[in-house]
Structure 1
Amino acid sequence: MTKELDKTFDPAAIEAKWYAHWEQTGAFRPSRPDAEPFTIVNPPPNVTGSLHIGHALDNTLQDVVIRYERLRGKDALWVVGTDHAGIATQMVVERQLEERQDKRTNYSREEFVQKVWEWKEESGGTITRQLRRLGCSMDWSREQFTMDEHFTKAVLKVFVDLYNKGLIYRDKRLVNWDPKLKTAISDLEVESRDVNGHMWHFKYPLEGGETYIYIERDADGNIVLEEERDYISIATTRPETMLGDGAVAVHPDDARYAPIVGKLCEIPVGPKEHRRLIPIITDEYPDPDFGSGAVKITGAHDENDFGVAQRNRIPMYRLMDEAAAMRSDGLPYAEAAARALEIARGAEADAAEIDALNLVPDEYRGLDRYEARKRVVADIDADGLMIKVEDKVITQPFGDRGGVVIEPMLMDQWYVNAAELAKKPINAVKSGEIEIVPKSWEKTFFNWMENIQPWCVSRQLWWGHRIPAWYDAEGNVFVAETEAEAQAQAGDGVALTRDEDVLDTWFSSALWPFATLGWPERTDLLEKHYPNDLLISGFDILFFWDARMMMAGYFNMGERPWNKLYLHGLVRAADGQKMSKSKGNVVDPLGLIDKYGADALRFFMAAMESQGRDIKMDEKRVEGYRNFATKLWNATRFCQANGIGASTTIKAPEARLAANQWIIGEVQQTVEALDAAMADLRFDAAANTIYQFAWSRFCDWYLELIKPVFADGASETAAAETRKVAGWALDQILVMLHPFMPFITEELWHALGTRQYDLILAQWPNPRANVSKPATDAIDWVIDLTTSVRSAKNELGIPPGAKLVAYLPAPSDLASSTIERSSAAIERLARLTPVTLGDAPAGPAMQVTAGSDVFVIPLEGIIDIDAERARLEKALAASQKEAKSLEGRLGNPNFVERAAPEAVEKARADHAHHAAEAERLQAALERLG
């Protein structure tokens, strides 16, 4: 029994109803134990997060795929969950404490972690509710959280297994230290920004006032400068780090400094009687043509210097504490400097002693790094040892969450041997075992993976998976899944202290494809659904997450995590700029859903997604897809009004009428095109295929073609056949459109009649029909003719409803038979009557085509030929002039290279418009004869 649809389509009225129904009835994971599995996992959003436009794109594409595969009868599993987001979540809870004049350190670690869990229970479900609003058909019954007990067990096992195989280790290396969050962060969490800064040039005096002859030569070897110097010149953008210098390096081929290589020079800062001496060494790193060619080596605070110091066994002195203030611990400066001088002269010192030496002069201790910078510069200048200072734009690293400048810091951290783990993923992509779509991303993947650095996985936080390592009093480490196991390794009575750090959030999320399925237990779910079939991800987390899942999959499971990786682009603002809060151009997907409905937003996302290219936000397009939904709604109301209801067959009904055979053939072609697009993950092609069929072929043409069948006096046999075919065709549209627009299609599915199952669990179309080619060719011919006539009328300003006389001098066999059998349809649709097979009388006329047939339509008395020709010629000249002007502007390199990108893009769009308009007007003139 059909339910009469309201006159107006209201998305809000149906969305909440159907989502609740699907979830309550278990439609997102129907019981299909014997069906072929299809599995995807969602990139787990941060538990702190809320839905942004990138989430909307990412999850729409995933939902399109999972609904499609579910309709094809597969055991489709979409794993859902959230990430505990170590840094982000701790920041949220600490911020709440600050609002109450409270702070984390007022609590024990256990008390604070409990507060985080309480926050998670109260406020951590925002994004999962919003994903429901988008229509995501995830298996919520198995929702995961990366801090769940079973997930924690998996994380600890992986850490221990990696450690036991020598693939995880503790080392003192340079890390990206976030002074605001007081934790190490990865390279991928650092944003490089250009800022206005300075380059200071200083003199480092030679030991004992020694001098040498400094000679500079030009490219031909001629001396351009020769002078006696008692110093070596260095330049730096971070003068505060001079306090930790271990050497000055020059290139081994730099003849200017050959006389002083191996000698000592003085760091020009600190109490004069205790200034440190450091050696002048050679290394390939300094560029003789850049600056003075001499480089200060501060291994504990610079990535490049760290490499030089390692190669040359130069001591690396740490200058700052966790807040990036100058250290205030350890020996007084005079004693520390004296010991450093002994080390510079060759005395042995182990890493622990070097790390303990605080070489910050007493007067700088405790100062913020930037305040220390000011003092260092002022003091050197006061001593007359500053050569010059230059204004300079410098690239500085900022933490993407803390928002402050990162300080490279030499620290003990836990590292994963990523280079070893990367080998199998690299081979998998090269061999095709894992396919990356679009393929253009492979080069980027290989470049990063083949040059991958050790992965720092320890974080100085309280919230997260605590590292399963315990230490005895001598610093020996015992790694185990439980404290009892660690104690057994250490022996009875040995006091152990657990590592304070937690693991990088990405360490746990790397296990997502298999830990969510029950691993390390060998569950039935794991056996059936691993490897996953597909991962859909933004390209921006290719290395954060996707590559690390490959590493984890091969290490823990011995095989790939998924067969195919699809990387989509970013959603950008309408002008092509990246969205950001600071620019004020962020688009709220929930606002778009409120305004146009989830179906319209989803369809926009799919229709605009073209194999990884960025998407420009276009609210007008979203509105257009809302109009598409309304058109389908009204078409269904038309069907209801004419007794067309739910079909009872998957196979196409028998059909004799040409229009019915035609629509059956169109359904078959649409299914084939849609399947081909989905196989290639061409979301734009798939969306456009069903859009064109539903809007143009079904709503515009088929419904128009069958209207006479329901007129008074028409054949009841024809009407009965048409009702069956039309109901079947509409059902196929609803099924094919469902992955893109799930809400309206489910509503219309039930409105057409009583169903045995919901649309979400329907069967994918399988028409299995043979249709008459002559019949379908005839309908295509009528449509072609009608389209041509309407276009010509529009170009010449003839009213759409005007009936015109037409002549066909040389009809094809198809034209002759169609005109004979379908003259009524030609009159009603193309508004041509009569159509004469023969030559047209002399006089002004226009020509229109249908296939290979050329119709001549007299215009005498229809329009003022001379006035129309004058109007068209004037408009043509204007468009040609404008197109030529824009062509000249776009051909000017100065404009294309220097103008704002949006101005260039507008010029190109305007040129395309005027060129097309000129072509249209020229065709209209030619129609006049």
Structure 2
Amino acid sequence: MLDKHFTPQTVEGPLYEKWEASGLFACDPHSLKPAYTIMMPPPNVTGTLHVGHALTYTLQDVLIRFKRMCGYDVLWQPGTDHAGIATQMVVERQLEAQGVSRHDLGRDKFVEKVWEWKEYSGNTIVEQQRRLGITPDWSRQRFTLDEGLSHAVRKVFVELYNQGLIYRDKRLVNWDSKLQTAVSDLEALSQEVKGHLWYIAYPLADNPSESIVVATTRPETMLGDMAVAVHPEDERYQHLVGKMVKLPLTDRQIPIIADEYCDREKGSGAVKMTPAHDFNDFEVCKRHNIPMLSILDFKAHMNENVPEAYRGLSVEAARKRVLEDLEAQQLLVKIEPIIHAQPFSERSGVLIQPLLTDQWFVDAYTLAQPAIKAVEDGTTRFVPDHWNSTYFEWLRNIQPWCISRQIWWGHQIPAWFGPDQKIFVAETESQAHEQAMRHYGHQVELVQETDVLDTWFSSALWPFSTLGWPEETVELKRYYPTDVLDTGFDIIFFWVARMMMMGLHFTGQVPFKTVYIHALVRDEKGAKMSKSKGNVLDPLTLSDEYGCDALRYTLASLAVPGRDLKLGESRIQGSRNFMTKLWNAARFLEMNACVYQKAFDALTAKLPVNRWIVSEFATLTSKVYRAIEAYRFDEAAADLYKFLWGTYCDFYLEFLKPIFANVEEAKALQESRATASWILMEFMKIANPIIPFVTETLWEQCGGEGLLMAVEWPIYGREAVDARYVDVSAQEEMNWLVELVSAIRSRRTEFNVPPGMPIPLQIFEATPELEARVKRHEIIIKRLAKISELSVGVGQSENLKGVIQFVLGAATIILPLGQSIDLEAEKQRLHKEMQKVQTELETGLKRLSNMDFMAKARQEVIDELKERVSNLEVTIEKIKDALLRIA
């Protein structure tokens, strides 16, 4: 006997252990089944599960469970990322609490401490992943610093270096002055801050009484200026191009150059060029062969290249001193308050400084060309396809990729320096010494590069390094290229593009055939989730409260392509109600002696009501199949909901109640019990990929054999529905009945008819066939639509007063509500409601037309208002329709 309620808290843990122990998560490289592969984006070992992770893992698990049921040998490759900077910071904070720094320990001892921490608590997120019910092949768990992957990293580095695609150069990088390392663009977060635009006069060298005025947000960097640039077509400055100016506060002169980078409408139109501390200035000065002058040290203090008065000052202190000195020399023309974007380190929170340093780079432009072509020719496709343009824009404008980091945790760069700084790159130190011996002719001392590789470098190899590359393993041949990568749009460039580049270069094949890009998870009002806003939803807490299935179903149902997910706790509550509905349906069958018969053949059903539900379910099965194949998880979830809640529970089971009550009709009773059970158990199969816990539990308790996750997807409902399962005449008859009852229920709600109040129903212009149909189902119509009297006529309806009427097919449906409610009062209520909604709509439209509001309001506020206005417009149309229906 089923429990009265489904309690996921007591079911999920033991059930997951049972799944894992079954061995069904594991792939079989020697299987004769077709292969299907997904590479799990490796989360950081420092991480904990958030709703973005929950979305990614849910959608991937839906695909994996689905493909497993469809007869594929699936590999879902799990693993974690060493997350260089993030992990090192965690351990450094622990040491700081003990009054110890990493420098006190030394590199080797410090790295040992990080490994200890990783083994102790760094895999927390893996256990949290299990909590979501996901089914990767845990036996193949990999870590980006394990020996196999480290070997692949070293081999890739050496080969790219030997091919001239990795090199050491002095270039600008994002510098974190607190962590003392270069960081990636992804770790440099842009934030809007209040600042100023300072206008500074730069006197001409040949005529100090004349000057050119530049506008800058960083006056302290003027000490490193190497030129002033103007637009070549700016008439104000054309006569100055080629002249020199005296750089204030220094004894240097710098040229005025013309470059189209300059914006004539911005600031003064003249731009100071500080190539060692600004990425745009760096490119402009490279074009004009202007030298670079670095004025900051690694701690973001002024170095020896500035006048003595400013040496050793922090950026903030130097700015204050520079502005005071400019004002004293009457060179500070004016100051404007502004709001502008500045990059801050995601890890340390400090302002990022563009810094000219010696770093290791990858020639990303060369590697990008095959990656661009692979998407252009459709070898790899993006879903939704509008992300193609984002991918192309990034790759076609790609810059050299800085891959070196000045930290200790990570893949130490396999390069050694000789006594004269000659570089030897090799997979091992012994190989480097062999190279040095050939070069010098004798043994010399070599010093290994202390920098480690950017975390994204090893992550870029993930699709093939996890399969055993560079060895030609069975797994590599079978599971590469992979089938689909599911990830967020924010790392298309940082990870997706780099995997494409590395995969194509080292294997000759794309790493995945499809890239499915899901949107961001926001709160229910569309705002980005953040701890400071207090709107963060913890997926583990939600799973504990409502059950894992409720969370998974909600995420799948909200995964509309190209649209951010608005996730609120109320949506998850609604999903839990869906699980309850499914559970209650199974209990209803149990109470009505409906026992699952595995040998039952749905094609043998004779009653129209049963032929109808079989037809509807076969159609549903195919729709869900095609929806998941097309990555329309939202459509699959919606179709499951509509069928179970509406078609099956609200109508089919209600249609069966008279049959269940009439035990004398043994054949009808037996067929209906068998059909009802068969449909619900088949429903468990197609719903299992999305809601695995409740369906697996019901499958076991209702008589299913084996584990549901190992059952085959119904063969009659795949790409096309098996026509034998579809009875068109039964569908036409029963769907008309469903439409009639639904329409009457809708009108009852619309006009505030009390739920329990019976009302009369008249049907005019009915054909003899329709009249016979109504009579066959008269009892059901009366019961489900709360009808007191039902009359059917073949003639035309008269001009009746006090009625609601609508057309259904060829018939006119009349509801004489004047006998049940005060229609005049109802008209007044609708008019009053119309005025209220109209007022709210006008207010919303007025705000949207207010340019000041549109300029200042957050985007999520604007989006929410637009959605509200759209809903109000729909409401008004509904009220108008209701008024028109009152005769």
User: In the aligned structure 1, how far is the partner of 2:112 from the partner of 2:629?
Assistant: 47
Is the partner of 1:648 in helix, strand or coil?
coil
User: In the aligned structure 2, how far is the partner of 1:366 from the partner of 1:511?
Assistant: 42
The structural deviation recorded for 1:431 is: 1.1
Paired letter, 1:854 = T
* 1:428-447 superposed matches below 5 A: 428-447=374-393
Query: Quick check: 1:786 aligned with 2:764?
Result: no
Paired letter, 2:248 = P
From 304, 321, 325, give the equivalent of 2:301: 325
User: In the aligned structure 2, how far is the partner of 1:114 from the partner of 1:300?
Assistant: 37
* 1:895-910 superposed matches below 5 A: 895=849, 897-899=851-853, 900=857
From 252, 256, 261, give the equivalent of 1:277: 252
Per the alignment, residue 479 of structure 1 pairs with 425
The structural deviation recorded for 1:283 is: 3.4
* 1:380-529 superposed matches below 5 A: 380-491=326-437, 492-529=442-479
Pair 1:843–1:176, CA change in 2 (3 A)? closer
Per the alignment, residue 81 of structure 1 pairs with 79
Per the alignment, residue 684 of structure 1 pairs with 634
Pair 1:6–1:379, CA change in 2 (3 A)? same
Is the partner of 2:109 in helix, strand or coil?
helix
Is the partner of 2:604 in helix, strand or coil?
coil
**Greater shift after overlay, 812-821 or 902-911?**
902-911
Pair 1:255–1:812, CA change in 2 (3 A)? closer
Q: Deviation string for 1:679-720 (max 9, x for gaps)?
A: 221111111111111111112211111122322533222222
Pair 1:814–1:261, CA change in 2 (3 A)? same
Is the partner of 2:253 in helix, strand or coil?
strand
User: In the aligned structure 1, how far is the partner of 2:492 from the partner of 2:60?
Assistant: 17
User: In the aligned structure 2, how far is the partner of 1:741 from the partner of 1:383?
Assistant: 73
The structural deviation recorded for 1:817 is: 3.3
- TM-score w.r.t. the length of structure 1 is 0.88
From 25, 34, 37, give the equivalent of 1:39: 37
Aligned partners of 1:173 and 1:412 also within 8 Å? yes
**Greater shift after overlay, 150-159 or 795-804?**
795-804
From 305, 315, 318, give the equivalent of 2:291: 315
Paired letter, 1:658 = P
Matched-pair identity in %: 46
- TM-score w.r.t. the length of structure 2 is 0.92
Per the alignment, residue 177 of structure 1 pairs with 175
Q: Deviation string for 1:253-291 (max 9, x for gaps)?
A: 67777777666554332xxxxx53224242325556655
Superposed CA RMSD: 2.7
From 8, 13, 16, give the equivalent of 2:13: 16
Per the alignment, residue 664 of structure 2 pairs with 714
User: In the aligned structure 2, how far is the partner of 1:518 from the partner of 1:554?
Assistant: 16
Aligned partners of 1:537 and 1:568 also within 8 Å? yes
Per the alignment, residue 334 of structure 1 pairs with none
User: In the aligned structure 2, how far is the partner of 1:514 from the partner of 1:852?
Assistant: 63
Aligned partners of 2:841 and 2:873 also within 8 Å? no
User: In the aligned structure 2, how far is the partner of 1:689 from the partner of 1:704?
Assistant: 20
Paired letter, 1:17 = P
Is the partner of 1:422 in helix, strand or coil?
helix
Higher CA-based Rg: 1
Aligned partners of 1:782 and 1:850 also within 8 Å? no
Aligned partners of 1:650 and 1:766 also within 8 Å? no
Aligned partners of 1:650 and 1:765 also within 8 Å? no
Q: Deviation string for 1:13-48 (max 9, x for gaps)?
A: 111121111112222226581111111111111110
User: In the aligned structure 2, how far is the partner of 1:809 from the partner of 1:203?
Assistant: 89
Aligned partners of 2:525 and 2:864 also within 8 Å? no
* 1:588-667 superposed matches below 5 A: 588-649=538-599, 652-667=602-617
The structural deviation recorded for 1:600 is: 0.8
Per the alignment, residue 215 of structure 1 pairs with none
The structural deviation recorded for 1:772 is: 3.5
Aligned partners of 1:568 and 1:609 also within 8 Å? yes
Aligned partners of 1:883 and 1:911 also within 8 Å? no
User: In the aligned structure 2, how far is the partner of 1:304 from the partner of 1:911?
Assistant: 42
Pair 1:100–1:246, CA change in 2 (3 A)? same
Pair 1:813–1:503, CA change in 2 (3 A)? farther
Per the alignment, residue 57 of structure 1 pairs with 55
From 747, 750, 755, give the equivalent of 2:697: 747
Aligned partners of 1:472 and 1:494 also within 8 Å? yes
Paired letter, 1:615 = L
Per the alignment, residue 825 of structure 2 pairs with 871
User: In the aligned structure 2, how far is the partner of 1:811 from the partner of 1:696?
Assistant: 27
Query: Quick check: 1:246 aligned with 2:226?
Result: yes
Q: Which runs of 5+ in 2 are unaligned?
A: 717-721
Pair 1:896–1:128, CA change in 2 (3 A)? farther
**Greater shift after overlay, 146-155 or 707-716?**
707-716
**Greater shift after overlay, 197-206 or 15-24?**
197-206
Query: Quick check: 1:570 aligned with 2:516?
Result: no
Q: Deviation string for 1:768-808 (max 9, x for gaps)?
A: 53444323322222222222232333344444445555443
From 631, 651, 654, give the equivalent of 1:701: 651
Pair 1:137–1:378, CA change in 2 (3 A)? same
User: In the aligned structure 1, how far is the partner of 2:863 from the partner of 2:392?
Assistant: 33
**Greater shift after overlay, 875-884 or 897-906?**
897-906
Pair 1:733–1:279, CA change in 2 (3 A)? same
**Greater shift after overlay, 463-472 or 895-904?**
895-904
Aligned partners of 1:57 and 1:605 also within 8 Å? yes
Aligned partners of 2:526 and 2:863 also within 8 Å? no
The structural deviation recorded for 1:462 is: 0.3
Q: Deviation string for 1:155-191 (max 9, x for gaps)?
A: 1111111111111111111111111111111223222
Q: Deviation string for 1:80-108 (max 9, x for gaps)?
A: 11111001001111111111111111111
User: In the aligned structure 1, how far is the partner of 2:241 from the partner of 2:679?
Assistant: 86
The structural deviation recorded for 1:433 is: 1.2
Is the partner of 1:526 in helix, strand or coil?
helix
User: In the aligned structure 2, how far is the partner of 1:468 from the partner of 1:261?
Assistant: 47
Aligned partners of 2:618 and 2:725 also within 8 Å? no
Per the alignment, residue 719 of structure 2 pairs with none
From 120, 123, 134, give the equivalent of 2:121: 123
Per the alignment, residue 146 of structure 2 pairs with 148
**Greater shift after overlay, 311-320 or 74-83?**
311-320
Query: Quick check: 1:853 aligned with 2:799?
Result: no
Aligned partners of 2:759 and 2:815 also within 8 Å? yes
Aligned partners of 2:227 and 2:257 also within 8 Å? no
Query: Quick check: 1:97 aligned with 2:95?
Result: yes
Pair 1:257–1:71, CA change in 2 (3 A)? closer
How many correspondences in the alignment?
Answer: 868
Is the partner of 1:681 in helix, strand or coil?
coil
Pair 1:258–1:437, CA change in 2 (3 A)? closer
Query: Quick check: 1:211 aligned with 2:166?
Result: no
User: In the aligned structure 2, how far is the partner of 1:746 from the partner of 1:880?
Assistant: 48
Per the alignment, residue 779 of structure 2 pairs with 824
**Greater shift after overlay, 307-316 or 421-430?**
307-316
Aligned partners of 2:407 and 2:451 also within 8 Å? yes
**Greater shift after overlay, 5-14 or 496-505?**
5-14
